[in-house]
Structures are given as C-alpha cells and as structure tokens.
Amino acid sequence: MKVSGLTAALLLGATGALASATPKVGKVSYDGYKAYRIATSGKDAAAIKDKLASFAAVQFNFDTQEHLDVAIAPEEVSAFEALSLPTTIMSEDLGAEIATEGNFGVYEKNVSTSAAVPSLTWFDAYHAYADHITFFNDLAASFPQNSEIFTVGSSFQGRSIFGIHLWGSGGKGSKPAVYFHGTVHAREWITAKVVEYITYKLLVDYSTDTAVKAILDKYDFYILPFVNPDGFVYTQSTNRLWRKNRQTRSGASCVGTDVNRNWPYKWELTGGASTNPCDETYKGAAAGDTPENKALTNFTLSLANSKGIKLYIDWHSYGQYILTPYGYNCQARPANQARQNALAQGLANKIREKYGTRFTYGPACSTLYATTGDSTDYITDVAKAEFAWTIELRPGGSSSGNNGFVLPAAQILPSSVEQWEGMKYLLANV
Ligand SMILES: *[C@@H]1O[C@H](CO)[C@@H](O)[C@H](O)[C@H]1NC(C)=O
Ligand SMILES: *[C@@H]1O[C@H](CO)[C@@H](O)[C@H](O)[C@H]1NC(C)=O
Ligand SMILES: [Zn+2]
C-alpha cells in the first residue's frame, strides 16, 4: 500500500500503543474489528480523519482522495456507525478472517516428480516463514542448471535477505536483469505468494513451454521474496497488520522504519514520508540507514553495474495498481514515458483478460500519492533501470471479505495466475 502523511492517533490500534501495551507472548487481537471503506467523494479526507481522531482505528490506506479504509474496534463500532459516514463494509470481523487465514498449509512436495518440486497445493493456503524458505530451497535443488539461492545481506535482527537467481541457455549471469522485490511491507502477504508462483512457472515450464523458454533465455531473474523478513515474521508471531521493519533506535520509543521510504534518493524531500518514528511511513534518521536498505542498495548497484536492470518490480498490496515512475514528484516523467505507459496499459489489459480483474495504471505520484525514498525512483534514476514499477495486488474493491491485507486464501491462485499471464506479456514485449 502506498501510505503517507498519516496521523499517529489513527494508528494507535495498529502499531504503537496497542502493540507495546500487549505482552510479548500474546498476539495483537483484531477480534470483532469491523473494517469499512468510507467514500471521500474526490476530496481530501481531512475532515473525516478529524472525526476519527478519537477512535482507536486502524487506517489501511492513505491515498484518500476516493476512499479511506479503516478497521474499528468492537467497542467503538456503534459510535462509528453513529457518525453516519458513507461506508461500505469490507470485513464484518477482521479477527475471524485473520484466524481463517492463519490455518497455514502443510508444506508438500509433488509426489509425481522425481525432483523435490513443491506441490501446487502451495498456492491453496498461506504458510509459515520457515516453509517459504523450504519452498525456495527445494525449487533451486530441483533445477540446479537454471537456478541458485543467494543472499544480499542481513536484516536488523540478523535474518538473511535471500533471493533466487534464475537463468537460461546463456548461462548464469549473462543477460540483463529482471529484478523483483516482495514483502517490503510486512503485512502484504499475497506478494510473496505471487512471486513464488512466477518463480515456479519460470522453472517448471522452461523445458516444455517455448514462450517461457524464450523469456528465461533472454533475462537473468533475481527474485527476493522477503526483503523485510523481520517484519514478515512479526506479522506471523505478533501483529498481522505490521508494515515496517523491526529496527529499534536510541531515543525513539516506537519500533520500525519503512524500508520503502528509506532508499537514498530524493529521501530528503518533504511530503512523501514521515519523520516521526511512530508513523507507518517513518523514513529513518538518514537516507539508506536501515540494514535492509544497505544490503538492497548494494546488491541493486552490483546488478546495475554488471548486465544492467531491464525491469524491476516492487510487489505490494493492495488496491490493484500498476505504478510507473515517479513517486517523489507528480510532474516528473522518465525519458521513456510513452513506452512505460503503453506497456503498463498492455499489462493491465492482459491481467484483465484472465478473470476480469481491473488494474489502474499510471505514474505513481499523480495516480496515487507522493512517496520519497522509494525503491522505484532509486532504481530508475540511480540504478538506471529501463522500467521500475510498483504493482499493488488484490484486492481492489470493497466487497465484504476483500479486507485489504488479509486476502482470502482462495484468491492466492487466481491472483498469481493473472499476474503470471501479465508477466508473460510484459517480458515478451518489454
Ligand atoms: C505435479 O507435477 C506434474 C508434472 O509436472 C503436474 O502435471 C502436476 O500438476 C503437479 N501436481 C501438483 C499437485 O503439483
Ligand atoms: C556488496 O555487494 C558485493 C557484490 O555483490 C558483495 O561482495 C559485498 O559483500 C556487499 N557488501 C555489503 C556490505 O553487503
Ligand atoms: Zn506496500
């Protein structure tokens, strides 16, 4: 989610107060929380935010021109409904949906293949972090001629930030890079599943599908499914709606920096991130000062300086957007803007062809919101990628059960398949 300029008061339920007031052993409970989409009628939502300031509400989105998505604690539901705001219900009980989502799948291999290929049942449920690591290790072990696991450095808590490198007939490291990041925002669980599906299809179909073979013979893929592993683990152990990393800082009582506001490019501008450590979009004390950004920047430059970056995608949820540069300025456009736009439109069309899912496309700042220190601006202007995009996955609309970050497990496979169809188009045409 693109997030910016939020008030700390709105976030007490999601992060600071509630999380720190809860004993470490327990999970933050969202039982009985009701999620609403409030129509803002094309206006800035400031007046509505003022009305909500006294609520312990969890705010999901900050591109509030069209709508404001919030979760309301059970004891405040009647006071909220008494405001008579124009709402639709996104979730009747967020806690119940988190509990359902938390019925993790059991990791299985495909028994009909001799290699250790993971079973497609992987895409029927969400999984524990340790199983995600097994998934990648097994895939790489099954396709040693086309893949290997690598690491780019360590997170604040010392977890390795790993990726899988895929290559085709030219041999390892011989072609321009296609570069993916997943799960920079910890609560955006669908992103790891989608990049896992794309990885799986590239490797499994390479030997039988000529279109897939052509793609993998043309590019080296560097896929990092969890660039914020500490945050992801924390969403599974403690607070499902955690977004940032888990970095502590002397003098700050709140934990976490937004890794996608900390990249060392246009970081110093105001208006696209927060300087308050308690906010969800906290940019850090200095450009690039999180361990995650240090490792990612270093690796990005090593890719840029070898074969170059053809395409970078930062996978996020939610809202169904394809966002081209730039985030830091709503008027700035890259030199190849016309190609960016044509390809983003083609990608949106291809995604929609499969199941009718609509993605909005356009330059990030003017389409959604200003962001500073984000990965796509850095990778466009500093790492000189030809294309560097943000894709915000499902859900888009506000029908009940499409409650933002907690996308029902039944939508993992269709979300993945429509993106795979889109990527086949994009990689053949980029
Ligand atoms: C197992 O692999 C076979 C052969 O590649 C494939 O057709 C089948 O769909 C796979 N099944 C599962 C459950 O992954
Ligand atoms: C930076 O990247 C290079 C090459 O990829 C690697 O050898 C080095 O260890 C990295 N340094 C840090 C601090 O991560
Ligand atoms: Zn995000």
Per-residue pLDDT, averaged over 23-34, amounts to 81
* Ligand 2 atom with minimal separation from the 295 CA: 14
Ligand 3 mean position to 391 CA, how many Å? 9
Nearest to 87 by CA among 422, 408, 400, 420: 400
Say if residue 64's pLDDT is above 90.
no
Concatenating the DSSP letter of every residue in 317-346 gives ESS-EEEES-SS-SS---TTHHHHHHHHHH
pTM confidence score = 0.93
Q: What 8-state DSSP symbol labels residue 383? A: S
DSSP 244: S
Q: How far is the CA of 1 from the centre of ligand 3 (A)?
A: 4
Residue 11 pLDDT greater than 60, yes or no: no
pLDDT tens, 69-95?
999 999 999 999 999 999 999 999 999
User: Any residues with Cβ below 6 Å from ligand 2, and which?
Assistant: 153, 295, 298-299, 302
Mutate to test the pocket of ligand 2, among 154, 162, 298 (most ligand atoms within 8 A of CB): 298
Of residues 150 and 21, which shows the higher confidence score? 150
Split at pLDDT 50, 70, 90, the class of 324 is: very high
Fold of 120-235+266-429: Aminopeptidase (3.40.630)
| pLDDT confidence tier of residue 41, bands split at 50, 70 and 90 | confident
The answer to whether residue 8 scores a pLDDT higher than 70 is no
116 vs 345: which has the higher pLDDT: 345
> Is the pLDDT score of 344 beyond 50?
yes
Checking if the pLDDT of 19 tops 90, the result is no
DSSP letter assigned to residue 113: S
* Contact predicate 186/244, CB 8 Å: yes
More confident residue, 400 or 180: 180
- Give me the residue spans of the domains in the chain: 120-235+266-429
| Coil, strand or helix at 47 | helix
Convert 319-357 to b/e letters by CB count within 10 Å (16 or more is b). bbbbbbbbbbbeebbbeeeeebeebbebbbebbeeeeeb
Q: What is the mean pLDDT of residues 26-35?
A: 93
Higher pLDDT, 210 or 112: 210
Indicate the average pLDDT of the chain. Answer: 92
Residue whose CB lies within 8 A of the most ligand 2 atoms, among 293, 302, 309, for a mutation test: 302
Kindly indicate the confidence band of residue 115, based on its pLDDT and cuts at 50, 70 and 90. Answer: confident
Ligand 2 centroid distance, CA of 379 (Å): 17
Yes or no: say if 87 and 71 are a contact pair by the CB < 8 Å rule. Answer: no
Task: Answer left, alpha or beta for residue 271, where phi above 0 means left and psi between -120 and 50 means alpha.
Answer: left
Q: Is it the case that residue 5 has pLDDT exceeding 90?
A: no
The answer to whether residue 105 scores a pLDDT higher than 60 is yes
**Which range among 154-163, 213-222, 382-391, 392-401 shows the weakest confidence by mean pLDDT?**
392-401
Residue 13 has pLDDT above 60, yes or no: no
Q: What is the pLDDT of residues 348-402, one digit of tens each?
A: 999 999 999 999 999 999 999 999 999 999 999 999 999 999 999 999 865 555 6
Angle at 290 between CA 289 and CA 295, to 5 degrees: 105
Please tell me the predicted confidence (pLDDT) of residue 14: 35
Residue 113, ligand 1, Cβ within 6 A: yes
Q: Residue 147 has what pLDDT?
A: 98
Q: Kindly give the distance from the C-alpha atom of residue 353 to the centroid of ligand 1, in angstroms, as a whole number.
A: 25
| pLDDT tens, position by position, 407-417 | 999 999 999 99
- CB 289: neighbour CB atoms within 10 A? 16
pLDDT of residue 24: 43
* Confidence at 65, pLDDT banded by 50, 70, 90: confident
Q: How far apart are CA 168 and CA 173, in angstroms?
A: 9
Q: Is the CB of 211 under 6 A from ligand 1?
A: no
Whether the CB of 250 sits within 6 Å of ligand 1: no
Model confidence at 253, in pLDDT bands (50, 70, 90)? very high
Confidence of residue 3 (pLDDT cuts 50, 70, 90): very low
pLDDT, tens digit, for every residue of 256-307? 999 999 999 999 999 999 999 999 999 999 999 999 999 999 999 999 999 9
426 within 8 A of 347, measured Cβ to Cβ: yes
